[in-house]
Chains A and B, each alone.
Chain A
């Protein structure tokens, strides 16, 4: 079993829809990161969470430490949001090594 599980693996939606990507982890963490990678592009950090909720524009990220679960929401989705979204955690039990989820490939159709 992977320490970081993301769902769904693939998601196709229409422009304007509300998008939710989930991340569950099984290890103790110091932080959880949501990252974005466009095709052929580099990786961009969206959020770093250790508790609660953060909002940046149309993006919202939440984390429930007790349930070891985080969600990334995109409101009013747009085709430019099409990318791979990756959840990664800093694992306290492995000297804070960054453990990656497999990523969620999001396609927003106009």
Chain B
């Protein structure tokens, strides 16, 4: 059974650009959540999607957006990149959003120059 796949694994962008990150959950999982991890702030919640609907959103500016497709794959987009957006972006999937075990991808490491 394939795990959670995140692409790309590494990317470098410059300030002002935009970026799209992809997350393919484990087959059968309908819940996908996104997290930002930085050395200073630790892990912070970005969004959660279940059956193509955003169920929760963290305290991030509107430059951060996401969506989920009918096959449960999810994308997140960050527009007008800032230096502070440099982070590891992690995606997790589960079959049940309340009590399901979480399965994490390896993450997408974004560097903004």
Interfacial residues, chain A to chain B (CB-CB below 8 A) = 30-31, 33, 35, 42-45, 48, 50, 86, 88, 90, 94-100, 102-103
Contacts and interface: CB of A to CB of B under 8 A. Distances in A.
A95 B98 contact: no
What range describes how many residues of B lie at the interface? 20 to 34
B45 A96 contact: no
A99 B45 CA distance: 8
B31 to A, nearest CB: 10
A95 B100 contact: no
A86 B90 CA distance: 15
B50 to A, nearest CB: 10
Given A96-B55, A100-B43, 15 more contacts: A30-B99, A31-B99, A42-B106, A43-B90, A45-B104, A48-B100, A86-B43, A95-B55, A95-B56, A96-B56, A97-B58, A98-B33, A98-B48, A99-B45, A103-B42
Nearest to A90: B98
Contact of B98 (A30, A44, A88, A99): A30
A72 B13 CA distance: 39
B108 to A, nearest CB: 11
What are the 9 tightest A-B residue pairs by CB atom distance, in nearest-first order? A43-B104, A30-B98, A42-B106, A100-B43, A31-B99, A48-B101, A97-B56, A45-B102, A95-B56
